[in-house]
Amino acid sequence: MNTTTINSITPNPMSIERLAHFDAAVHERVQQWLTSGQLLAWIPILSQENFPGVPPDVLQFADRYQEAMRWPIHRPEDLLALPDGITGWLLPADADDTDVACGVWNGEVYILGVQDKRTGRKQTLLGERVDIATGQADDPEQSAV
């Protein structure tokens, strides 16, 4: 995963520590979202990594109701109220798809670009990423977060 951590979140500016695999494009996009004042949404990623004790079929069932699981993010400080240790998708509230994930671990907010662990391809909330150069979409059946 590409990772950025935001140590202390204030409306402007933010204290940022760049970690290994820092993705400047993801960072810039999230910074624009946060400084614009637009409403954002956080949606938990329903995976075995986030919820190891939950059977895969239950996670797949719950995943169909992602729209109902949107957690509103009105201002940057709201990110600190996210459940600790659970990665979720971060996007503008009126958007349908994103390739940005976000989580809180031990009081620090991490902004992540998500990649398939097997293929290295970037992933999105909707499960595929279109390659601009070829126009080809990843096979959503082979996507895993």
Which tens digit of pLDDT belongs to each residue from 95-106? 999 999 999 999
**pLDDT for res 121:** 83
**What pLDDT score does 112 carry?**
86
| Better-predicted residue by pLDDT, 135 or 19 | 19
Q: Between vectors from CA 90 to CA 84 and to CA 95, what angle results, nearest 5°?
A: 150
Q: What is the arithmetic mean of pLDDT over 69-82?
A: 94
Instruction: Determine the average pLDDT of the residues in 73-84.
Output: 94
pTM for the structure as a whole: 0.73
- pLDDT single digits (tens) 25-48: 888 999 999 999 999 999 999 888
Contacts 24+ apart (CB under 8 A), 78-87: 79/6, 79/9, 79/42, 79/104, 79/109, 80/9, 80/104, 80/107, 80/109, 82/42, 82/109, 83/44, 85/50, 86/44, 86/45, 86/50, 86/51, 87/44, 87/45, 87/47, 87/49, 87/50, 87/112
